Amino acid sequence: MTSLNREQITAALEAVIDPVDGQSITTKGMVQGIDIHDETVNVMIAVDPERGPALEDLRQAAEKAVAAVNGVTTARVALTAERPKAAPQPRAPQASQARPAQPGQRPQGGGQMPLELPTVRSIVTVASGKGGVGKSTTSVNLALSLVAQGLKVGLLDADIYGPSLPRMMGLRDAKPVPSKEHQGKMIPPSAFGMRIMSIGFMVDEEQPVIWRGPMAMGALEQLLRDTDWGDLDVLVVDMPPGTGDIQLSMAQRVPVTGAVIVSTPQDIALLDAKKGLNMFRKVNVPVFGLIENMSYYKCPECGHVDHVFDHGGAHKAADELGVPFLGEIPLDLKIRLGADEGKPIVDTEPDGDHAKAYGAIAAKIASAVEEQVGPVEAPKKKGLFPKISFK
């Protein structure tokens, strides 16, 4: 197997010319990141944000140049734009009265054209204010619960710095493949009846992704834009923890239908969860509600219930913030083992209590989405989401 290095990729990119001034993109310092993993190469090119939409030909030329390097089997090139700092502008009076996003419309902001995802009917982000609360495990099992209700579901790993879905979905060795039907698109790996995309399919799981915020967002946008999702009722997005660049850009650039916040019952986790919730509110993204994860531990032998991390905090926080409380998920070794082994508990024990808990929450989320996007137009006039009982 040919051993690739940065010098080879840089040399190939020297032939890519910026049409404005005829200079090489390497000479101009536009190449901001080169990531090599086995035979897969990911490249980030920094461009003026005003020129971004017009540089698709340049991006494709760079991708073709990298793909031509001996030993490269997969080449991905993304454009990233970091807007230069402008002089302070007077704040508009009564900014809080900015027009909120309407159902089916994209939230306003960001100063860039929104991403177009015409085959995706709705997008639900699963977020948390901090890491370690089980957000990814919750995302996976909620997505599978929506599939169990008969929906067409996709799953996106938006955590560029800490992707975990390849392992959790049993797809550690999977890779996207070029779409034959849609040029420039890639078909993501599939599992459990849905398509899944993650930067983790392109880098080693033990290799850190050391990118600045704009580079990470550029990669995420390309994952969204260049993935052949097929026709989806719901795209579930496993968000990174916190309220940073990726979360803000995702809310402003992507037509998010609604957000779900995951927290443990601890006071510190709830404090961060409130921050995450308020961020979505500021960018006019509806918050569907809070989920209390690791809510309690039930002894499998005697049935005794122990509230390890306190109990009821998320329910109380939801009431205080005026959003629905979606439900409780217990702390259970089987849930954790299923996530580590790529065997989600909703799939392995579909009739178990845990699957019923996830299913009941998924049913509430489905109803909230239907309120935002409206029922699907079908001869039988059924809603987009079938009403399933999880009792």
CATH number, domain with residue 158: 3.40.50.300
Say yes or no to pLDDT of 302 above 90: no
Q: State the DSSP string of 19-31.
A: TTT--BTTTTT-E
Most confident of 110-124, 138-152, 330-344: 138-152
Average pLDDT (122-142) is: 90
Based on the fold, state whether residues 300 and 240 are members of the same structural domain: yes
Based on the fold, state whether residues 71 and 129 are members of the same structural domain: no
Q: The domain that contains 23 carries what CATH number?
A: 3.30.300.130
Q: Residue 309: its pLDDT value, please?
A: 61
Based on the fold, state whether residues 61 and 201 are members of the same structural domain: no
Place 361 in a pLDDT band, splitting at 50, 70 and 90. very high
* Residue 118 domain-assigned (yes or no): no
Q: Which of 80, 107, 137 is the last residue of a domain?
A: 80
Based on the fold, state whether residues 41 and 144 are members of the same structural domain: no
Based on the fold, state whether residues 279 and 204 are members of the same structural domain: yes
* Residue 383 domain-assigned (yes or no): no
For 322-357, letters b (16+ CB in 10 Å) and e give ebebbbbbbbbeebeebbeebbbbbbebeeeebbbb
Q: pLDDT tens for residues 238-273?
A: 998 876 777 777 777 888 999 999 988 877 777 878
Listed in sequence order, the residues at least 6 apart from 346 whose beta carbon sits closer than 8 Å to its beta carbon are: 141, 144, 145, 148, 354, 355, 358, 359
Q: pLDDT tens for residues 174-191?
A: 888 888 888 778 899 999
Q: Residue 168: its pLDDT value, please?
A: 94
Average pLDDT (14-37) is: 87
Based on the fold, state whether residues 60 and 172 are members of the same structural domain: no
Q: pLDDT tens for residues 321-345?
A: 889 999 999 888 889 898 889 999 9
* Residue 260 domain-assigned (yes or no): yes
Place 99 in a pLDDT band, splitting at 50, 70 and 90. very low
* Residue 177 domain-assigned (yes or no): yes
Question: Which is higher by pLDDT, 75 or 367?
Answer: 367
* Residue 337 domain-assigned (yes or no): yes
Place 386 in a pLDDT band, splitting at 50, 70 and 90. very low
Say yes or no to pLDDT of 12 above 50: yes
Q: pLDDT tens for residues 276-289?
A: 888 888 888 899 99
Based on the fold, state whether residues 195 and 287 are members of the same structural domain: yes
pLDDT > 70: percent of the chain: 79
Average pLDDT (87-112) is: 40
* Residue 356 domain-assigned (yes or no): yes
Q: Residue 205: its pLDDT value, please?
A: 65
Listed in sequence order, the residues at least 6 apart from 352 whose beta carbon sits closer than 8 Å to its beta carbon are: 345
Look at the block and give the residue holding tokens 């005794």: 304
For 259-276, letters b (16+ CB in 10 Å) and e give bbbbbbbbeebbebbbeb
Q: Residue 215: its pLDDT value, please?
A: 73
The pTM of this model reads 0.71
Q: Residue 106: its pLDDT value, please?
A: 44
Q: Residue 89: its pLDDT value, please?
A: 40
Say yes or no to pLDDT of 67 above 70: yes
Place 294 in a pLDDT band, splitting at 50, 70 and 90. confident
Based on the fold, state whether residues 161 and 72 are members of the same structural domain: no
How many domains is the chain built from?
Answer: 2
Q: How many residues are recorded in the chain?
A: 391
Based on the fold, state whether residues 215 and 318 are members of the same structural domain: yes
Q: Residue 207: its pLDDT value, please?
A: 66
Find the domain containing 206 and state its range: 123-373
Name the burial class of residue 255, with classes exposed (0-12), middle (13-18) and buried (19+) by CB atoms within 10 angstroms of its CB.
middle
Task: With CA atoms as reference, report the closest residue to 175 among 216, 204, 207, 143.
Answer: 204
Based on the fold, state whether residues 135 and 240 are members of the same structural domain: yes
* Residue 106 domain-assigned (yes or no): no
Q: Which residues pair with 260 in a beta bridge?
A: 126, 289
Q: Residue 4: its pLDDT value, please?
A: 86
Q: Which of 80, 109, 138 is the last residue of a domain?
A: 80
Place 77 in a pLDDT band, splitting at 50, 70 and 90. confident
Say yes or no to pLDDT of 5 above 60: yes
As a whole number of angstroms, the distance between CA 228 and CA 188 comes to 7
Based on the fold, state whether residues 71 and 135 are members of the same structural domain: no
Say yes or no to pLDDT of 102 above 50: no
- Of 72-76, 105-109, 246-250, 269-273, give the lowest mean pLDDT range: 105-109
Listed in sequence order, the residues at least 6 apart from 94 whose beta carbon sits closer than 8 Å to its beta carbon are: none
Based on the fold, state whether residues 136 and 70 are members of the same structural domain: no
pLDDT > 90: percent of the chain: 34
Token digits of residue 30: 């536009």
For 82-115, letters b (16+ CB in 10 Å) and e give beeeeeeeeeeeeeeeeeebeeeebbebbebeee
Token digits of residue 96: 């809080």
* Residue 386 domain-assigned (yes or no): no
Q: What average pLDDT is seen over the chain?
A: 80
Say yes or no to pLDDT of 97 above 90: no
Q: Residue 298: its pLDDT value, please?
A: 73
